Amino acid sequence: MKSEKTQRITTNISNVRSELFGFSIISIILFHYCEDVQDAGFGGAAAVFARGYNLLLGSSGVEIFLFLSGMGLFYSMSGNPRLSDFYRKRLSRVLPAYLIFGGAGFAVLDLLLRQTGWLRFSADFSMISFWTEGVRLVWYIALILPLYLLFPLLYRLISLPDKRLAGALTAALIAAVIAGCLLLHFLSPAVYDNIEIALWRVAPFIIGAWYGRKARSGESFTAEAVLLCILAACFAALSFATRVRADFLWGVFSLRIGAVFYPFIVLFAATAVLTRCGGSRFLRSVGAASLELYLSHVILRAVMNQIGLKTCYPHFYLLCIAFSAALSFAVHKLQNIYLKRPKAN
């Protein structure tokens, strides 16, 4: 009975991983709408919705997305450790969608609408401008590609035969990432402001890879889950203290550090609901095209705002969602057809 219970605890997230991807991308899309509403300074029902959503979920979908990505990469590499196959699969998943949406999007934004020239297009499309100037439109792709490149090293650390040593080194690496973010803020605030949106998301990615090891071997993740929830509660209290006293120690970082851990409460709650419901076909279909949906959504949202169709208005945002969904599912289907076609000898 104990082994069955342990197996159930460790496989819940794995069993509904596709649904969780769908949940996370939908929550990101809703968060972007809340951002638009708050940036526009709206009042009334829209402002109440935005404040309530940010209080309950905020940008948790991003951390969940990175957690699931780290978990999936561990599964992928443990099933086939050949680096050539690993990189081929990862790049064939990301690059075609990015070349389509990123190429077309930056061409429209930089060359047609803003008319900032080919140099700006090159900097944006190559994502160099994110690391040097903080252009955040496709920051997730600018982060995930280096994480793909470095993942084999992370995999070797996490999969060390000595589980205690592997756990200790993984925890130390997460602490080093957080410490590095804080140190960068003090040493180079301008650089920190440019890339902090990506740097803080490395920790959930590492935790996801660690969960991948636990789930892969059927071990319990309960102790880690409890620790993550305790950390989330502690930083929630720290955030509240910061609001009461603006000079509270670490006040600058309370929300960002808290955002590293709070999403796990959302993740575990969503997992429990989805497991109890037996999954969701709709969320699975959304999750399968989550990367394409993310890219089409952020690009189309930027284009619409640039031409005056402000997505802070619900009717324009719904239009953005409809078009980005149609484009993403079409590209995802075409990409699957291309990847599954027979290879020439």
Each residue of 66-108: pLDDT tens digit?
999 999 999 999 988 889 999 999 998 899 999 999 999 999 9
- Residue 155 scores a pLDDT above 50: yes
* Under 8 Å between Cβ of 291 and 69: no
- Residue 2 scores a pLDDT above 50: no
**pLDDT of res. 98:** 95
**pLDDT of res. 253:** 58
**pLDDT of res. 254:** 55
* Under 8 Å between Cβ of 261 and 231: yes
- Going by pLDDT thresholds of 50, 70 and 90, the confidence category of residue 3 is very low
**pLDDT of res. 72:** 93
Q: What is the pLDDT of residues 8-30, one digit of tens each?
A: 555 688 889 999 999 999 999 99
Q: Which one has a higher pLDDT value, 45 or 249?
A: 45
DSSP string covering 40-74, please?
HT--HHHHHHHHHHHHHTTTHHHHHHHHHHHHHHH
Over range 213-231, report the average pLDDT: 80
Residue 171 Cα distances to 177, 291, 321, angstroms? 10, 28, 38
Residues 6 or more apart in contact with residue 279 via CB below 8 angstroms: 15, 16, 19
Tokens for 331, please give them: 């590209």
In angstroms, rounded to a whole number, what is the distance separating the alpha carbons of residues 66 and 18? Answer: 13
> 133 in helix, strand or coil?
helix
As a whole-number percent, the residues of the chain with pLDDT over 70 amount to 88
**pLDDT of res. 5:** 47
Q: Which one has a higher pLDDT value, 335 or 62?
A: 62
- Tell me which of 34-48, 111-125, 221-235 is least confident: 221-235
- Going by pLDDT thresholds of 50, 70 and 90, the confidence category of residue 1 is very low
Q: What is the DSSP letter of 161?
A: S
Over range 186-191, report the average pLDDT: 90
Over range 293-299, report the average pLDDT: 96
As a whole-number percent, the residues of the chain with pLDDT over 90 amount to 60
- Helical ranges in 159-221 per DSSP H: 163-187, 189-199, 202-216
Helix (H) or strand (E) holding 323: helix 314-340
- Residue 229 scores a pLDDT above 90: no
Best-predicted range by mean pLDDT (47-56, 133-142, 241-250): 133-142
Of residues 327, 304, 273, 339, the one with CA closest to residue 23:
273
The chain-wide mean pLDDT, for the chain, equals 87
In angstroms, rounded to a whole number, what is the distance separating the alpha carbons of residues 259 and 54? Answer: 11
In angstroms, rounded to a whole number, what is the distance separating the alpha carbons of residues 174 and 170? Answer: 6
- Going by pLDDT thresholds of 50, 70 and 90, the confidence category of residue 185 is confident
- Going by pLDDT thresholds of 50, 70 and 90, the confidence category of residue 115 is very high
